[in-house]
Structure 1
């Protein structure tokens, strides 16, 4: 009698799960698994992707600004200059489309007739003959005050805002041309007083404005980026480490000094040999003292 009862109950239960019911249950579990996986996948998304989305959101959503009352030397407008942090060691920032193609062409035309072989600042005991081959470009110097067109004054103003250092700390532009095979071995823009003697005004930062595309070679390189290659095996000629490809109109800002005024050892940099094309670049050194021209 009990067996019949059990059999009857089991038969009753199986009747409740008809084919449509089983089909719906399958769909339910499939959807639950799918959404569960999606949730888990997004929750595991790396921090870099999340940060990029947040930054993009802040740029798109920030359409209005509340202006404060500026001081006598301040601005009554918001300045937006896009940039990318390439490295914190050294502190290197990349500015895409910093200048227009027309502006770059005009700067090259200013410099063409005045080029001469680039020179080096010599350490005690060094000679020009003994340092040949370290820097093989040609160049010239021109300040914004010498440019009657006003173009360099405009670039000066933009560099000051990018670097957050007044333009009165910037020197003249060193306009440089690198032909195929020409390069500049790794060096520091700041001068170590122990090697070069006391400095009246130290170079705090450098801004490079690339005036041409370079099809191959000519990268600006930082071989000690993030502490790499900082041993006696590096010979100052190898083109290794962080490398920035020159693109016409783009800018590169890097700092040679720490905030405490000491030289950042990872700011060692050079210009890789040009393999194809020709490299033109306008370099501005930003110094710690006011109104220092070169």
Structure 2
């Protein structure tokens, strides 16, 4: 007969093998989070079977199951809307990582039925701890960009509207812990403080002690340079637990730092404030970052001298078919011109492109890998796939439509890139053309002369495309496409086209883009010595006002 220790060891190995086989990066695309609903349902079935076999086993399991069922019912009522809330998406990932680990540990205590829950479902998707960390960082990104209050977020509030059930103390603790481990002490402190506010010793579902919360609060204060607060919290921990291992050493260290600082102040010495290590950014970057956040919130308007000249019109040039089916064309900015073409992708086309792209999704990257190859980056959270014209008449038709809209040739254009942004998904400010810093190898087709960005979903909150140097925000509109030229007529990159994708606060953002290259445009848009020009489509007549923006 197997010993209890051997049985526990076997169960532990089964659990570890589950996480070693799982692929990370679920958090980088909302479309990848949706399959977790099925995983969630299967886990519920496992727990039900386990409790049926062990009716007297640990009432905590039943309470956890009740909580999960309530959340699952909410999700099943409207899965896309449920997962569109980043708080719900984070909670789901936590349930299937940290909470599932706890359930399996409980099931292994003195029961021969632990294999019911310890088993691995090979046909299901499981998140891993990297996904939990990514989701925690995403919530912080949303908090900072959209000026959200941590307490509101923990109560399920997004901009004053209740979208989800309140988070538990344990949920907040896991966010704070994940942020602490990536050295984001400011936000870790805020979430740990909120976790402590929610903490109750009577909560049987709590996996942590009160001193666990206090320890992270004390250490965060220390790394933020607030040694007195760190000392205060450490002393409180020692009062609650005199056997606290790190208490005496930390208290002695904090007292020494405080005494040395006070001695220097008495001697009139200038005391440098202790600050946490952080990336060094120049003033230009910080200025752009602040403008970016304001634009993401939609708080900045295009200057009146520009907005008064913006017009809408019907595009009937470029192709005879447009005489019968003109395209609605709206100018959002002038010099450089940024245009939105409305209703240029149908729902059927969007559904086909999504379905075709999703099985091929890979994590989005930037050209920072070896030889300029795309490498995963925290500066772009999403998943991408590439679709070729020859694959389907639908893809070819979209490319032809781009040619009709822009009057440019698609002969050297890149394949259609499809992107689904994840929890808090975003892309930092960048240029679509090659700069001297990232131009690694000459492209025989020339640089990217223009960009067409299709919006394949509406986004409830957030997700705008913003141009920091222009003060322009373009919010997603399903079926529409944004268009701008990346290069001046001389072939030099237009620095004013620097743009970024804002974090998705609520919803799932799907886009696809077509990058058009210089080669094959020689007779359509010839290169000149001019550095700038008036009007994005020189071959077209001036806009005819049909309605003001």
| Conserved? CA contact 1:123–1:195, under 8 Å | no
2:463 aligned residue: 218
**What RMSD over aligned residues (CA atoms) do the two structures have, in Å?**
3.3
Compared CA separation, residues 113 and 259, structure 1 to 2 (3 A): same
- Structure 1 distance, partners of 2:310, 2:474, is 23
Q: Measure how far apart 1:77 and its partner are.
A: 7.0
TM-score by length of 1: 0.64
| Conserved? CA contact 2:365–2:377, under 8 Å | no
Compared CA separation, residues 278 and 49, structure 1 to 2 (3 A): closer
- Structure 2 distance, partners of 1:253, 1:146, is 24
Higher mean alpha-carbon deviation, 108-117 vs 78-87, is at 78-87
Among 438, 451, 456, the residue aligned to 1:206: 451
Q: Measure how far apart 1:109 and its partner are.
A: 0.8
2:341 aligned residue: 95
Higher mean alpha-carbon deviation, 117-126 vs 266-275, is at 117-126
Normalized per residue, the structure richer in helix is 2
Compared CA separation, residues 275 and 260, structure 1 to 2 (3 A): same
2:351 aligned residue: 105
Among 159, 174, 177, the residue aligned to 2:417: 174
Any residues of structure 2 matched to 1:130-169 within 5 Å, and which?
132-147=377-392, 150-169=393-412
| Conserved? CA contact 1:204–1:257, under 8 Å | yes
1:242 equivalent in alignment to 2:472: yes
Q: Measure how far apart 1:162 and its partner are.
A: 1.0
Q: Measure how far apart 1:154 and its partner are.
A: 1.1
1:191 aligned residue: 434
Q: Measure how far apart 1:49 and its partner are.
A: 8.2
2:252 aligned residue: none
Superposed structure 1 runs of 4+ greater than 6 Å apart: 48-52, 123-129
| Conserved? CA contact 2:362–2:385, under 8 Å | yes
Gaps of 5+ in 1: 1-47, 60-64, 226-240
Q: Measure how far apart 1:182 and its partner are.
A: 1.1
Q: Measure how far apart 1:114 and its partner are.
A: 0.9
SS of the residue corresponding to residue 107 of structure 1 reads helix
Compared CA separation, residues 212 and 260, structure 1 to 2 (3 A): same
**Of the two, which has the highest radius of gyration?**
1
| Conserved? CA contact 2:448–2:486, under 8 Å | yes
- Structure 2 distance, partners of 1:109, 1:282, is 13
Normalized per residue, the structure richer in strand is 1
TM-score by length of 2: 0.35
2:489 aligned residue: 259
Question: Higher relative CO (CA 8 A, sep ≥ 6), structure 1 or 2?
Answer: 1
- Structure 2 distance, partners of 1:172, 1:125, is 21
1:81 equivalent in alignment to 2:327: yes
Compared CA separation, residues 134 and 50, structure 1 to 2 (3 A): closer
Q: Measure how far apart 1:111 and its partner are.
A: 0.8
Compared CA separation, residues 153 and 125, structure 1 to 2 (3 A): closer
SS of the residue corresponding to residue 377 of structure 2 reads coil
- Structure 2 distance, partners of 1:135, 1:123, is 14
Once the two structures are superposed, residues 146-172 of structure 1 have per-residue CA deviations (whole angstroms, 9 ceiling, x without a partner) of: 22xx11111111110111101213210
Higher mean alpha-carbon deviation, 269-278 vs 159-168, is at 159-168
| Conserved? CA contact 2:310–2:333, under 8 Å | no
